């Protein structure tokens, strides 16, 4: 009897022992710029969104080729003694450790990690250590944030109009704000043509200095910077266009002009489909798609669905069957017609109200 009681007690004691702790789960995401690793899925997704935003910006706005060669890894971890964003090149790869935090701070850190990952990969793929100037890291981080919060660009432009330009030396060294680095990058893109900007970005990732880039164009950065900054601020476009402006811009982007052997002619989408294997047509539609992605955020909400429908047609232009493209174009035309009807109703109501 005593042996039975001891056996029961032993079983109860074993059952009361706490189970061994489960090993922490690790979540992965793999946008093209870098692999993201962390123990909390929401943080991994948040970081991934910023890397993907920069990737889209570089490909569709700047026209840079997708990242090739050396890889990068972004780890989300609160490591004691490390800075908020710790970037290192190791064994030909970029390793970036990002400390999570409250949303706005974490967003800035993820955007910086995205910029460092891309710039580092470009440098390492050429066999050199990452050497981009600090302002360029800030500028690409800013573009990542602007892709996710488009109104931020207009906010920065409005804020900058109320403050003087920082000294160029302070800005180039990364001692000015992210906003000013963003403005410097936008000024440079205005100075350079599209192909020049595409070529200059990898060169700067590998260590070419901004001052040397301007010197090749006989520009003095100290004099050039405040002048071009003022011009940029004066040319600020409204965040959202009016209904009539969005309608006119949509008509322009939906009309295709090509010379297919009989001089320049205007084609509708369906008329262009039989010629889509021609290099000039393919490149022209790709350019139109990049322009639409850049401009859609500024369009009036009345026309948003029509712009999205056209964007879907442009995205599917090369790969879809003609019957699918025909259906997508009809959808676009219905959305455009509905938007015009709504515009007429709104304008009529405003006139009746004396607006």
Cβ-contact 94, 121 below 8 angstroms: yes
pLDDT at 69 (0 to 100): 67
pLDDT at 181 (0 to 100): 97
User: In sequence order, which ranges of 126-205 are alpha helices (DSSP H)?
Assistant: 134-148, 151-160, 168-172, 178-191, 194-205
Residue (of 148, 119, 146) closest to 135 by Cα position: 119
| Topology, domain 27-234 | Neutral Protease; domain 2 (1.10.390)
pLDDT class of 66 with cuts at 50, 70, 90? confident
pLDDT at 137 (0 to 100): 97
| Rg of the Cα atoms in the chain | 27
**Segment 30-65, tens digit of pLDDT:** 888 999 999 999 999 999 999 998 998 898 888 887
Burial class (CB in 10 A: 0-12, 13-18, 19+), 259: exposed
**Segment 4-22, tens digit of pLDDT:** 444 444 445 455 566 666 6
Q: Are strands 35-38 and 72-76 parallel, antiparallel or unpaired?
A: parallel
- Mean per-residue pLDDT over the chain, rounded: 87
pLDDT class of 158 with cuts at 50, 70, 90? confident
**Segment 262-310, tens digit of pLDDT:** 777 888 899 889 988 898 888 889 988 988 988 887 888 889 899 999 9
Q: Are strands 93-98 and 85-90 parallel, antiparallel or unpaired?
A: antiparallel
pLDDT at 238 (0 to 100): 64
pLDDT at 2 (0 to 100): 47
Domain boundaries along the sequence of the chain? 27-234, 243-352
């Amino acid at each position: 009897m005593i042996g039975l009681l001891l056996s029961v007690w032993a079983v109860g004691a074993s059952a009361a022992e706490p189970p061994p702790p489960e090993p922490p789960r690790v979540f992965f995401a793999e946008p093209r710029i870098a692999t993201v690793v962390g123990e909390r899925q929401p943080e991994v997704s948040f970081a991934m969104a910023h890397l993907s935003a920069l990737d889209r910006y570089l490909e569709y706005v700047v026209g840079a080729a997708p990242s090739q060669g050396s890889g990068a890894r972004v780890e989300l971890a609160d490591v004691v003694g490390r800075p908020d964003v710790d970037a290192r090149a190791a064994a030909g790869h970029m390793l970036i450790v990002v400390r999570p935090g409250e949303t706005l701070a974490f967003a800035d850190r993820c955007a910086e990690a995205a910029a460092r990952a891309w710039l580092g990969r470009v440098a390492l793929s050429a066999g050199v250590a990452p050497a981009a100037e600090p302002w360029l890291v800030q500028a690409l981080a800013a573009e990542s944030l602007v892709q996710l919060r488009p109104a931020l660009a207009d906010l920065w432009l409005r804020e900058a109009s109320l403050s003087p330009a920082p000294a160029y030396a302070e800005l180039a060294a990364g001692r000015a704000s992210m906003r000013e680095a963003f403005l410097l990058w936008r000024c440079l893109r205005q100075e350079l043509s599209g192909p020049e900007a595409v070529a200059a970005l990898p060169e700067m990732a590998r260590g070419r200095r901004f001052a040397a880039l301007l010197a090749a164009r006989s520009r003095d950065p100290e004099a050039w910077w405040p002048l071009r900054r003022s011009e940029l601020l004066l040319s600020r476009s409204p965040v959202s266009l009016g209904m009539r402006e969005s309608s006119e811009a949509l008509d322009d982007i939906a009309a295709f002009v090509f010379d297919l052997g009989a001089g320049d002619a205007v084609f509708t989408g369906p008329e262009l489909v039989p010629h889509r294997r021609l290099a000039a047509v393919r490149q022209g539609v790709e350019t139109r798609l990049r322009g639409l992605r850049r401009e859609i955020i500024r369009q009036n909400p009345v026309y948003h669905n029509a712009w999205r429908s056209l964007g879907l047609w442009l995205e599917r232009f090369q790969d879809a069957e003609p019957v699918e493209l025909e259906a997508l174009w009809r959808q676009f035309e219905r959305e455009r017609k509905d938007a015009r009807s709504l515009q007429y109703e709104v304008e009529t109501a405003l006139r009746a109200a004396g607006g």
